[in-house]
Amino acid sequence: MSARYTAARTSVRTAGIMVLFTVVFTALMSATFELTRPAIEASALEGKMRLIREVLPPSSYDNMLLDDSVTLGPTPELGLDQGGHIYRARLADQPAALVMEVVAPDGYAGRIQLVIAVGVDGRVSGVRVTGHRETPGLGDYIDPNKDRNKSQPWIGQFSGVSFTDVGTEKWKVKRDGGTFTYRSGATISARAVTNATARAVDYAIRQRDALFAVQAGGRL
């Protein structure tokens, strides 16, 4: 038996073992994914609901909020270059509030992702930061989990406020002649969130009827 034949047979056998290993590994991974997918999906849904409960009290709606959503295309007003989602809260079948994905594009370190709930009366229910790269210990106070003032986190000042209380010309940080406070040395972070919240409130007021008119799961 020639050395060339032996080497070829060894190569074929090795390739066969690798193919078998790949098939078995892929099958195991697929089976594992299918077994764990329900738990993963349930955890993701619970995470969304936990965040929503932070900006919108459960007592303010009685519908299955995650099932009552609208998909947005690119929406510059909300900073959504690739689009996003809005969840509609209803109480006794009547519109109650909108929970919106929002992006402030002009944070100190880039984009700041937010979730903002606005009632049908145009009043902010709550604002939360869901993603950012602001400077730790300086600009990250916009996230209540990072804010050292746990009793009165900075971002809580938007809750319960509307354009009736604070006109659009005053919906700014105090350094810009507005109403809302900021922390010394980290104005840019506060300004970005404050301005994004104003745009979200304006969008919710202008688009409220159209958003509630779209079929659940539809697109605006």
Q: In this predicted structure, what is the pLDDT of residue 17? A: 72
Q: Is the pLDDT of residue 140 over 60?
A: yes
Q: Dump pLDDT digits (tens) for 6-55.
A: 655 666 677 667 766 676 666 566 655 455 545 444 454 566 789 999 99
Beta strands in the chain (DSSP E): 69-72, 84-91, 94-107, 110-119, 124-131
SS3 69: strand
Place of tokens 């079929």: 215
| Average pLDDT of the chain to the nearest whole number | 88
56-96 per-position pLDDT tens digit: 999 999 999 999 999 999 999 999 999 999 999 999 999 99
Q: How many other CB atoms are found less than 10 A from the CB of residue 218?
A: 11
Residue 220 has pLDDT above 60, yes or no: yes
Of 198, 211, 219, 217, the C-alpha closest to 96 is 211
- The Cα–Cα gap between 20 and 16 comes to 6
Query: Pick from 171, 179, 190: which is nearest to 106 by CA?
Result: 190
pLDDT in tens, 155-194: 999 999 999 999 999 999 999 999 999 999 999 999 999 9
